[in-house]
Structure 1
Amino acid sequence: MKNFICLVLLSVTLSSCYQSERNCHKFKTGVFEFKTLVNGELETTQFIRNDSIEIELYKNKRDTAYIRWVNDCQYILTSKNPKNRSEKKPIQMRILTTKENTYKFSYNIVGETKTQEGQVTKISELK
């Protein structure tokens, strides 16, 4: 019984020490890349982000969005030039974990509960 209690205490101690890294500040600016499967094909999007603007390049088309940071790990994207009603809806982005030059994130349209997740790689700093 004594060994069991020691094992439980050791397990609790070790698991409470583990916390996923969230160094979100280093991902506020830079050049980034996002890859995802679209209709079974791997698609790549690159984007440049400074503190208040994000410029996305996808299939040789540019799209610009305003960024409003809620905190170091959460921001709202709003399209600068929406082309239709759905593009007018802001998107809430949350950085969930960070590791070296990548971060995992979740996102959803503001006001909706359905979320999706992805991973972004930071390619370089802004020049």
Structure 2
Amino acid sequence: MSQMKYLYLFILCLILTSCFDNIQRNCTDYKTGTFTSEITINNKLYKSHFTRTDSLQIETYNNKVDSSSVRWINDCEVVFKTINPKSRAERKDIHLKILTTTDSTYTFEYSYVGEELKQKGIAKKIE
């Protein structure tokens, strides 16, 4: 009888863990292209437009253009390094992780490398 309990427990665990595998992450679809992104910080919405190649990202935010080098850690995580930083904050690398994907968007979290505070946003591929 005790072996039967273990079998039922194993089957229950298997069923429960399979329910959590439904998150879609096709990160390679978003390594390059043209995108718009939206991030909400303290109830304020920030929008930007950017184009990413294998090694470069050019972003426009508030009529200001920034360029960053791109270094992929794996298919879903990337580090951006500002090419010509103009302030101390711009010298900090940014780590971005794609959390989920759809057919045209991805949800991400990002932070300065080495910092705990993470922000979340959504990017939409337009090309």
Cross-structure match for 1:66: 69
**Structure 1 residues 37 and 116, CA gap change in structure 2 (3 angstroms):** closer
**Structure 1 residues 55 and 15, CA gap change in structure 2 (3 angstroms):** same
Q: Which runs of 5+ in 2 are unaligned?
A: 1-7
Question: Which AA in structure 2 matches 1:68?
Answer: R
Cα distance in structure 1, aligned partners of 2:112 and 2:38:
20
Greater Cα offset, 77-86 or 10-19 = 10-19
Tell me by how many angstroms 1:11 deviates: 8.7
Cα distance in structure 1, aligned partners of 2:107 and 2:42:
22
Tell me by how many angstroms 1:113 deviates: 1.1
Tell me by how many angstroms 1:39 deviates: 7.0
Q: How many residues matched?
A: 121
Aligned partner (choices 96, 114, 117) of residue 114 of structure 1: 117
Q: What's the TM-score once normalised by structure 2's chain length?
A: 0.82
Answering whether residue 29 of structure 2 is matched by residue 29 of structure 1, we say no
Tell me by how many angstroms 1:49 deviates: 0.3
Tell me by how many angstroms 1:61 deviates: 1.4
Cross-structure match for 2:4: none
Cα distance in structure 1, aligned partners of 2:109 and 2:42:
21
Cross-structure match for 2:15: 13
Tell me by how many angstroms 1:42 deviates: 3.7
Over the aligned positions, Cα root-mean-square deviation in angstroms equals 2.3
Answering whether residue 55 of structure 2 is matched by residue 52 of structure 1, we say yes
